[in-house]
Structure 1
Amino acid sequence: MDDTSFLRARSVRVGSLLAAAALASTALPAFADEGPDGQIVVTGAGLEKTPGTPAYSTVEIGRDAITTSASGRIEDVLTQVAGFQQFRRSDSRSSNPSAQGVTLRALGGNATSRALVLLDGVPMADPFFGYVPLPALTPDTLGSIRVTRGGGSGPFGAGALSGTIELESAGPDQLGLVNGQLLASQRGETEAALSIAPRLGSGFAVVSGRWDRGKGFFTTPESQRVPATVRARYESWSTQVRAVAPLTDTVELQARALVYRDDRLLRFKGATTSSEGQDASLRLVGRGDWQFDALAYVQVRNFDNIVVSATSFKPTLDQYDTPAQGLGGKFELRPPMGENDVLRLGVDWRRASGTMKENAISAATGAITARRRAGGNNTDLGFYAENDLTLGSLVLTGGLRADRTVIADGYFEVRNTAGTVTSRTDYATQTDWTVTWRGGAVLRVSDMIALRAAAYTGLRQPTLNELYRPFTVFPVTTQANAALRNEKQKGFEAGIDLTPAEGIRLSVTGFDNRIENAIANVTIGTNLRQRRNVDEIRARGIEASAHAEVGIVRFDGSLAWTDAEVRNGPLSNLTGKRPAQTPRLAASATLGLSPAVGWDIAATLRHVGQQYEDDLQIDSLKAATTLDMFAQVPLPRGISLVLRAENLFDTEIVTRNAGGSIDLGNPRTLWAGVRVKI
């Protein structure tokens, strides 16, 4: 397959567009029924956070920090929280989407998310792979982000093994009626985004879209390039409709439809990869005496990928279709218990199903040699209760979850070119009941000092990808494993929060977390790995954060030092080694200036320590320190000039090292463009 196939057109499912129209039409009539007088103000958010939330290590990212990142990408924003990491250091322009798993606290990973990412309460992880579709999450449309590190209870808590990342959408007050930007880089790459957020009666709607494209950069070092080496070209777009309307004076309806597609070309000519999705959700939020949050969502996702040999530079595998579906919902009730007692009772359910479809190809002849399929269904039914008690300056919180997990209908099948089944394995159904819990306390010693402590357990079900899909990243092949068990976490932490003056916040947390039955890519032979449960990954460390906003100056800093190791029995060659892709030290510091209305200048310095590509600590990824810059200068008529610089000093960022075969991250990239806000 040549480069003309890189941006293969695939029509967006008509059903998804109809869903978007249906969601919007459901909400819009309610807008028109309200006049300008006596309006009911809606928020578009979920229920208020509970008093016990500060008992856990929590970082808030405001809209100013979200909209002043140098790359304009959500993963760049989240790296402000030290301890946040993807499987690789590449961003979503130059990495395979299946490597976009996110985690916290250096708990390792294998490209699957160990952190729960929610957009307005909806889990965003891909139903088949477990990665997060980062290009579809547009920072410009977000109002705030809350990152809670450590195991989670509450809704969808079975996915919050290392923590929870809650993305909250912005409304008209933050977006304005029209908000858009258009930028270009020195390589001719472009980024365009637009949102329209009209108030309609007592509610509002937000229609937004984003389009990124570029020829990219060479991820291959110059010394390793061959004639087949190409730049990491990319093109992605997303569009969403969000509508919020009051149904009564205490109940509001929130509806969303999201459609996206992402195309990339990685390393070699013809090595294309694409992902797409169509999501829809409905949410009812009640803020009366009996508060409630009811949510239902559907996700339709797909992925395709062509693997090109690093020796013959011809296709050897065509993963041409990976359709996956996600269904889920939750209902949470908060009965009236009194001012100092907040009780949450809830149930949530998720179902993930999908099928891998791929053709093995002869590099010599280009002919298909085998047709393979694999897939299955995963479900999780959870019941949870959590209670926060405020006793003067002391807040106590505790939560309990019970999860029924089922892994069913798993299979792996091989057919010859004539369509005859040559082998098929059907896997036994796995079922489990798991009880997890968390609890904590916050003591406000004074207006300046708060002490906190927490302990928790957690759960993560293996993904369909880990169970059934093998893959190759030359020269290493990684096998799937249908016998994988659920990961379980145990952890505790203690910290202190300081507010020595208005606008200044300091926080330090010490933690000790363990993942039992941790799923890792384990070396079992030369250039051969398999996903396996190891006995335990233990991570102990310190997290520190600082926020200061004094006059025209603001500062945000974050640091995480983690001592993480694998424990897999005294005879294992993994015991005592650091998990793959896990740095010991990560830090970020942003200094911002707002000298006048509309002006914004920010510089971000980041450091990621040395880490290892593999489980045996053979292939090293050296430490990297980068500097990013952002500037916004107001012009007349609501227009602003925007200048951005990524990796200003052009630091070499090694993102992959497989036996000396190296990939590199984003080099120095300079952007210029305009923003418009009306």
Structure 2
Amino acid sequence: MMGSGAAYAQTAPADDIVILGRGLDLPPGTPAYGTTVIDRDRLTNDASGRVEDVLSDVAGFQQFRRADSRSANPSAQGATLRALGGNASSRTLVLLDGVPIADPFFGYIPFNAIVPDRLAAIRVTRGGGSGPFGAGAVAGTIELVSADRSDLPPIAGEAFYGSRDAQTVSASVSPTLGRGFASLSGRFERGDGFMTTPADQRVAASVPARYRDWSANARAAIPIGGEAELQVRGLAFGDNRTLRFRGADSSSEGEDASIRLVSRGGWQVDALVYLQARNFTNKVISATTFRVTLDQRNTPSTGIGGKIELRPPIGGGHVLRVGGDARLADGELFEDAYSAAGLVTARRNAGGRSTVAGLFVEDDWTIGRLVLTGGARIDRWSITDGFFRERDANGAPTVANAFADRSGTEATGRGGLLLHATRWADLRAAAYTGFRLPTLNELYRPFVVFPITTQANAALSPERLRGIEGGVDLRPATGVQLSLTGFYNRLDDAIANVTLTPTLRRRANVRAIVATGIEASLAWRRGPFSLTASYAYSHSQVRAPGTALDGLAPAQSPRHAASATAAWSPKSGALLSLTARYVGDQYEDDLQTNVLPAATTVDAVARVPVGRRVSVIVRAENLFDAAVVTRNQAGSIDLGTPRTLWVGLRIAG
């Protein structure tokens, strides 16, 4: 579907059945939902080498904060789309080979554990989701697909050295084993980091945002019979970061495992089970005493789940999918609060469990040039065993809350149509509903970004989405693709961090967040030259009658976002590319008192082959050293990545 050479994000052509990875083929109705695909070349040739930055090629994608996974607090790495508001949890369902990868306690995405050269492609679908694990996809779905035998050389590796003594080393070994293959890969990176604090706000305790992380991945594909395959995966990762002040250290770690069975016979089958074991720690430093005020010393969590999807060969132009899935998240926090004198004042322990289990059915019906697609889910959810306990410095209980168990049933669905109106034009329309349970973090864990304390809320209700959209995909000339989409999304009972006082916020459901807007993309290729671009305009408002929030924009929701990449990549294997990204003004808080100014950054990559399997690569992040404000709390500011230069070698043999 995508050309070779300089890679790019593009809208999937509506007349193709796209095959991503070696799971089940995508049904013909998928493009009705405005799917965008990022290919392997683009993933492996970004200036930062980070998946979250490549995802920014899809205008409208955002994390809670503008910082990437080297300088953000890990718990702030929630992914969302369409300016539906930021509260650090993901409103987008993120899957790796069909397996949900969000942290089971926090809901954030461990981007530092996702290495671009382990992937074949990413597919992004905005809007409410259905099908497997569809609960949680209120803003969209991001599907990461692992590289397989055709993508991975037997031996590969790369090493980069960058500004501020930054180092990245990765390697993989991927031997063929009979009719199957295995791949073992690892990455280590570290850096002294940059000063996130502006020069005029630094104090003796200010330090650079140092980082150090690693990940190791093992994956095997084992043929079973003539048309079935067993896919086994194991992932382990660790991450340590420092933000703003000496001693403000955070860490995250995880061990994930999954087994997936894929059969491509008459009755196609996709079945999997997975297990996640995660942990998180964080120390909060006072901005006045520069001592530890809160030590979130342990946050263990476990995620367990599975699914089965069947595609019976019913014929008649139909592609029918039926199945079920289930997810369980369990976790708790252990934290100690300290006085200005450095003495423990309270010891807290809180946590709980949530489950979602659903059945789904989807069908695509091709009638000549028209494809009708539709699906429905029924989910049973529960939130149980919730508690919050606090003891004083002497161990005497001061708070002992046990929260009532809750459960419910949600019915959601989606439908769309795709009309191949002409050889060069496709028309599409879709409508959908969806829901998302509050995370254990939102329910039970308070947090502090000094001097603001945000309280948890064990009574939060699930979020519920309704949305419609329509669009057109054009191919007016060879190598040219254009896409335009208009949408209306309403997220009822949206979970927000609501300001109570200048130093206190609380998670709460607001009546709704309503987002309307347009999304446009362009992909052009001619010989070795390519140009891709995307733009998103989102007019997003909070509906909360009778409160100060009514009519305001949700926190962390820019109105404008754009991205463009121009590249030259001849058959020799060389590459020159420039990427520009723009993010408009957005607000730090729900009351629109602290603005994050618009920012434009430019990245550059040059690749020069120096042998059959060796290339020299030079990369530049934020080439013109633009100031990117990532946090603004009453004038206390954090900055994003400044100009960062890299040089390295890549070997593939």
TM-score by length of structure 1 reads: 0.93
Aligned to 1:613: 588
CA deviations on 1:471-514 (whole Å, 9 max, x unpaired) are: 11112110000000000000000000011223221100000001
Where do 1:340-379 residues align within 5 Å?
Answer: 340-364=317-341, 366-379=342-355
Where do 1:560-579 residues align within 5 Å?
Answer: 560-569=536-545, 571-579=546-554
Q: Find the aligned partners of 1:447 and 1:245 in 2 and give their Cα distance.
A: 40
Note if contact 1:333-1:344 (Cα within 8 Å) is conserved in structure 2.
yes
CA drift of 1:637 comes to: 4.4
SS in 1 for 2:572: coil
CA drift of 1:339 comes to: 5.7
Task: Give, as a single letter, the amino acid of the residue that structure 2 aligns with 1:258.
Answer: L
Aligned to 2:648: 673
CA deviations on 1:594-631 (whole Å, 9 max, x unpaired) are: 12321111100110000000000000000000100011
CA deviations on 1:361-418 (whole Å, 9 max, x unpaired) are: 1221x22121100000000001110111000000000100011110000000002233
Match of 2:475 among 493, 499, 505: 499
Task: Give, as a single letter, the amino acid of the residue that structure 1 aligns with 2:544.
Answer: N
**Unmatched 5+ stretches in structure 2:** 1-18
SS in 1 for 2:150: helix
Q: Find the aligned partners of 2:572 and 2:378 in 1 and give their Cα distance.
A: 51
CA drift of 1:342 comes to: 0.7
CA deviations on 1:276-312 (whole Å, 9 max, x unpaired) are: 0000000000111111100100000000001100000
SS in 1 for 2:476: strand
SS in 1 for 2:422: coil
Match of 1:391 among 345, 358, 367: 367
Note if contact 1:538-1:564 (Cα within 8 Å) is conserved in structure 2.
yes
Q: Find the aligned partners of 2:405 and 2:624 in 1 and give their Cα distance.
A: 53
Q: Find the aligned partners of 2:530 and 2:550 in 1 and give their Cα distance.
A: 43
Match of 2:512 among 526, 536, 543: 536
Match of 2:291 among 314, 332, 343: 314
Match of 1:294 among 246, 268, 271: 271
Q: Find the aligned partners of 1:346 and 1:619 in 2 and give their Cα distance.
A: 46
Match of 1:484 among 451, 460, 466: 460
Aligned to 1:406: 382
Choose 166-175 or 611-620, whichever is displaced more. Answer: 166-175
Note if contact 1:109-1:519 (Cα within 8 Å) is conserved in structure 2.
no
Choose 385-394 or 633-642, whichever is displaced more. Answer: 633-642
CA deviations on 1:19-71 (whole Å, 9 max, x unpaired) are: xxxxxxxxxxxxxxxxxxxxxxx996210011110100211111111111100
CA drift of 1:526 comes to: 2.4
Q: Find the aligned partners of 2:22 and 2:514 in 1 and give their Cα distance.
A: 36
Over the aligned positions, Cα root-mean-square deviation in angstroms equals: 1.0
Note if contact 1:45-1:120 (Cα within 8 Å) is conserved in structure 2.
no
Aligned to 1:634: 609
SS in 2 for 1:557: strand
Match of 1:79 among 51, 56, 63: 56
SS in 2 for 1:431: strand
Match of 1:664 among 591, 614, 639: 639
CA drift of 1:200 comes to: 0.9
SS in 1 for 2:314: coil
CA deviations on 1:224-264 (whole Å, 9 max, x unpaired) are: 00000000000000001000011111110000000000000
CA deviations on 1:70-109 (whole Å, 9 max, x unpaired) are: 0000111100000000000000000100000000111112
Note if contact 2:350-2:386 (Cα within 8 Å) is conserved in structure 1.
yes
Choose 343-352 or 192-201, whichever is displaced more. Answer: 192-201
Aligned to 2:561: 586
Q: Find the aligned partners of 1:107 and 1:630 in 2 and give their Cα distance.
A: 32
Q: Find the aligned partners of 1:331 and 1:175 in 2 and give their Cα distance.
A: 28
Note if contact 1:171-1:197 (Cα within 8 Å) is conserved in structure 2.
no
Q: Find the aligned partners of 1:349 and 1:363 in 2 and give their Cα distance.
A: 46
CA drift of 1:572 comes to: 1.1
Q: Find the aligned partners of 1:212 and 1:495 in 2 and give their Cα distance.
A: 42
How many residues align? The count is 635
Note if contact 2:20-2:145 (Cα within 8 Å) is conserved in structure 1.
no
Note if contact 1:591-1:603 (Cα within 8 Å) is conserved in structure 2.
yes
Q: Find the aligned partners of 2:257 and 2:149 in 1 and give their Cα distance.
A: 21
SS in 1 for 2:200: helix
CA drift of 1:198 comes to: 1.1
Choose 46-55 or 497-506, whichever is displaced more. Answer: 497-506
Task: Give, as a single letter, the amino acid of the residue that structure 1 aligns with 2:422.
Answer: S
Match of 1:186 among 163, 166, 183: 163
TM-score by length of structure 2 reads: 0.96
Task: Give, as a single letter, the amino acid of the residue that structure 1 aligns with 2:321.
Answer: R
Where do 1:141-220 residues align within 5 Å?
Answer: 141-220=118-197
Q: Find the aligned partners of 2:132 and 2:573 in 1 and give their Cα distance.
A: 39
Q: Find the aligned partners of 1:43 and 1:560 in 2 and give their Cα distance.
A: 25
Q: Find the aligned partners of 1:343 and 1:575 in 2 and give their Cα distance.
A: 43
Note if contact 1:44-1:254 (Cα within 8 Å) is conserved in structure 2.
no
Match of 1:415 among 373, 391, 410: 391
SS in 2 for 1:175: coil
Task: Give, as a single letter, the amino acid of the residue that structure 2 aligns with 1:457.
Answer: T
Does 1:551 pair with 2:510? no
Aligned to 2:412: 436
